[in-house]
C-alpha cells in the first residue's frame, strides 16, 4: 500500500492507472458541482446503474436507499474495470437525518487495494478519517449545518439526495453546499430545472424531470422520474453516460 498523500484520496490515486484517474477526475468535477430537483422519496428503492464511457460499458453501481423513522440510509456497491487497468471494487454507506442532513459516511475500497474513509458530521466539525495499511490520517472541516449534501466520486445514487433538497416551487438555479469525501473537498453546487422531457429512443416511458448542473468547467444533465428515481446522467465533456437498468 503506498503512503497516504492526502486524506481520502492518496490510496485511490495510487491504486488506479492514469487513464482511469483522468476519467474519475472528470466524474468528480461533475459530482462536486451538480444539484438536482426536489421530490418525495419512496420508503425503499433498489436499482443498478450501468456506467458507459464512449458507449462502452466500464462498470456498474448497485444501490439501495431506505427511509426509516430516524432518517435515510443509502448503501452502494461500485465495480469499475477498464482495459489494461485493475478492477476496482468499492462500497459506500451514507446515513442522514429525517431532513437529509448527513450524519455518517463510509467508503471502503476492496480492490485493487484496501482502504477506508469515514466521515462523521457533528456540530463541532466534520471529521474525515482515512485508513490504509500504511496507517491513518484525520482532517477536520467546518461545513454548513444546512443544505449540505454528500456527493462522493462515482457513487451516482447520492444525486437522489440532491433531488430531495431542490425546491421546485422556486424555479431557477439553486445552490447547495457539498462535500466529496474521496477528494477531501468541500464545494458549492448549482442546479437548474430544465422542464419535462422524454428520453431519446423511448427507453423510459413517460415524461421525466430534466435538470442541468453547471460549473465553469463542467455540465451534467440529469433525468429523473417525478418520484425522484434517477434514470440517466450524461457528462458530454467526458463522453460518460450513467443509465438505470430496466
In a domain, 5, yes or no: no
Query: So what's the pLDDT on residue 83?
Result: 84
* DSSP 8-class letter at 112: S
In a domain, 3, yes or no: no
Q: Which domain covers residue 63, as residue numbers? A: 10-244
| Region 126-146 average pLDDT | 94
Q: How many domains does the chain have?
A: 1
The residue with greater pLDDT, 199 or 99, is 99
The answer to whether the beta carbons of residues 231 and 225 sit under 8 Å apart is yes
**Over 90: is that where the pLDDT of 206 sits?**
no
The pLDDT-based confidence of 220 (bands split at 50, 70, 90) is confident
Query: So what's the pLDDT on residue 60?
Result: 97
CATH code (residue 118): 2.50.20
- Number of C-beta neighbours around residue 88 at 10 A: 23
Query: So what's the pLDDT on residue 15?
Result: 38
Q: What is the pTM of this model?
A: 0.81
In a domain, 80, yes or no: yes
In a domain, 91, yes or no: yes
Comparing CA positions, the residue from 177, 179, 178, 175 lying closest to residue 167 is 175
Comparing CA positions, the residue from 110, 56, 58 lying closest to residue 85 is 58
In a domain, 124, yes or no: yes
**Over 50: is that where the pLDDT of 86 sits?**
yes
In a domain, 210, yes or no: yes
* DSSP 8-class letter at 28: H
The Cα 234–Cα 239 span in angstroms is 8
In a domain, 56, yes or no: yes
The answer to whether the beta carbons of residues 237 and 216 sit under 8 Å apart is no
In a domain, 183, yes or no: yes
| Region 228-243 average pLDDT | 91
Cell numbers linked to 5: 498523500
User: Peptide bond before 4: cis, by omega within 30 degrees of 0?
Assistant: no
Amino acid at each position: 500500500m503506498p503512503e497516504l498523500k492526502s486524506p481520502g484520496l492518496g490510496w485511490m490515486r495510487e491504486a488506479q492507472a492514469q487513464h482511469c484517474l483522468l476519467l474519475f477526475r472528470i466524474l468528480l468535477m461533475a459530482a462536486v458541482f451538480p444539484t438536482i430537483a426536489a421530490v418525495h422519496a419512496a420508503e425503499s428503492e433498489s436499482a443498478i446503474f450501468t456506467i458507459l464511457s464512449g458507449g462502452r460499458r466500464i462498470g456498474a453501481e448497485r444501490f439501495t436507499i431506505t427511509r426509516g423513522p430516524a432518517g435515510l440510509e443509502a448503501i452502494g456497491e461500485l465495480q469499475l474495470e477498464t482495459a489494461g487497468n485493475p478492477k476496482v471494487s468499492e462500497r459506500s454507506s451514507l446515513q442522514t437525518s429525517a431532513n437529509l442532513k448527513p450524519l455518517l459516511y463510509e467508503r471502503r475500497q476492496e480492490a485493487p487495494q484496501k482502504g477506508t474513509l469515514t466521515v462523521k458530521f457533528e456540530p463541532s466539525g466534520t471529521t474525515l478519517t482515512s485508513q490504509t495499511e500504511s496507517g491513518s490520517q484525520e482532517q477536520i472541516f467546518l461545513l454548513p449545518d444546512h443544505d449540505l449534501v454528500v456527493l462522493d466520486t462515482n457513487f451516482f445514487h447520492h444525486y437522489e439526495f440532491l433531488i430531495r433538497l431542490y425546491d421546485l416551487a422556486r424555479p431557477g438555479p439553486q445552490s447547495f453546499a457539498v462535500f466529496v469525501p474521496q477528494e477531501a473537498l468541500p464545494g458549492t453546487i448549482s442546479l437548474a430545472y430544465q422542464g419535462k422531457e422524454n428520453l431519446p429512443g423511448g427507453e423510459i416511458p413517460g415524461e421525466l424531470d430534466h435538470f442541468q448542473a453547471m460549473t465553469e468547467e463542467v455540465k451534467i444533465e440529469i433525468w429523473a422520474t417525478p418520484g425522484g428515481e434517477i434514470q440517466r446522467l450524461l457528462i458530454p465533456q467526458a463522453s460518460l453516460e450513467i443509465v438505470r437498468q430496466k
